[in-house]
A and B are shown apart, each in its own frame.
Chain A
Amino acid sequence: MTDFFYNYLHIYLFVALFLLFCGIAGVVYRRTLIGMLVSMELIMNGAGLNLVALNRFISPENAYGMAFTLIIMGIAAAEAAIALGIILLIFRKYRHIEGGDLKEMKD
């Protein structure tokens, strides 16, 4: 009865690992800051999925992994707000949002 396909831990871990893979490749590969921000959100999703899967399969008697995933969601919202502000600032100053030309924070 417990032999279902979705009762294996490794499937969730590999999906989370694939999200991490895509996120790291995107952070290195993307040129615009918004593309990098999207890739960072992918990495955070993978981390949350990892935590919930390990909580479900390794220690199902408490819910600390799920609580930590909720905290990650709050941090991701704050991070997206800050990144929006910084991207707007960079666009007003340089008129583009490519990451390659941003060599110094203050001028």
Chain B
Amino acid sequence: MSIGELIFLLTIIVTMGGALMAVLSGSVVYALMGLVTAMFGVAGLYVYLDSPFLAMMQILIYVGAVSVLIAFAVMLIGPLYRRPKEWTTAGKFGAALGVALVTLFMFVRFVTETFPRVGKPSFAMTTKEIGRLFFDNLVLPFELISLLIVVAILGAIMLALFSRGNK
């Protein structure tokens, strides 16, 4: 086993462990830390998929922006000791596990029987080509994303402002 495979296995373990921690931990803060860990693992998998630009964007946007937003939400909802307990009844846990396992087995069959097993070896999409793709073929979705983000930020500001005024 080469060193690359070793790091790849470590990346997969980090991703899966982070996802499990995000779901199973009792505190919301630990769940957020697990989410950040899983996002770093996915960024490492993007590096192994020959797309380092996406790995950088993953770390910048998800780890940098989205998790900070969720951390703000965690900090703004009151003190830590008055948080509700995250663990609930065993019936609810069983129901969640059942729903997720049904999804898992459905898609396991789909994954194992649909796609070819070994990939093509060469793949080199540079950042320049992604930029050309965005500004040649995908101009309208690109602009719509920017419009969506502006509307989302304005909506969040309006929600925060007017609820305070009405109270």
- Residues of A that sit less than 8 Å from B by CB: 1-2, 4-15, 17-26, 28-32, 34-35, 37-39, 41-42, 45, 48-49, 52-54, 56-58, 60, 62-64, 66-67, 69-71, 73-89, 91-93, 95-98
Contact = CB atoms under 8 A, between A and B. Distances in A.
Interface in B122-141: 122-123, 125, 129-130, 133-134, 138, 141
Contacts of A58: 115-116, 119
B82 to A, nearest CB: 9
Interface string B1-45: 110110011001001100110110000100110110011001001
Q: Could you tell me the dominant secondary structure of chain B's interface residues?
A: helix
Interface residues of B, number: 92
19 contacts: A4-B5, A9-B116, A10-B117, A18-B16, A20-B104, A21-B103, A24-B99, A28-B96, A34-B73, A57-B115, A57-B120, A63-B125, A67-B133, A78-B152, A84-B70, A85-B155, A88-B160, A88-B163, A95-B78
Interface of B: 1-2, 4-5, 8-9, 12, 15-16, 19-20, 22-23, 28, 31-32, 34-35, 38-39, 42, 45-46, 48-51, 53-54, 57-58, 61-62, 65-66, 69-70, 72-74, 76-78, 83-84, 86, 88, 92-93, 95-97, 99-101, 103-104, 107-108, 111-112, 115-123, 125, 129-130, 133-134, 138, 141, 145-146, 148-149, 151-153, 155-157, 159-160, 163-164, 167
